Structure 1
Amino acid sequence: MIEVEVEADDWTDAIDDVEAVVERAAVAALGEQAGGVVVLLTDDATVRDLNARFRGKDRPTNVLSFPAADMPDTGGPRPLGDIVLAYGVCAGEATAQGKTLTGHLTHLVVHGVLHLLGRDHEDEAEAETMEAEERTILARLGVADPYTLPHDA
Structure 2
Amino acid sequence: MIHHITMRVIAHATEDVSRVREALDFFLSGAGVKDGNNLIEELEAEGHHGNPITILSVQLKKKAECLKFARFVRGNFSEEDAGMLRKEMPERLDDDTVFHLRFDKQAAYLQQVKLTNSSDAIIAKVKIETYPKNREKAGVIVEELFG
TM over 0.5: no
Higher helix share: 1
Q: TM-score, normalised by structure 2?
A: 0.29
Higher strand share: 2
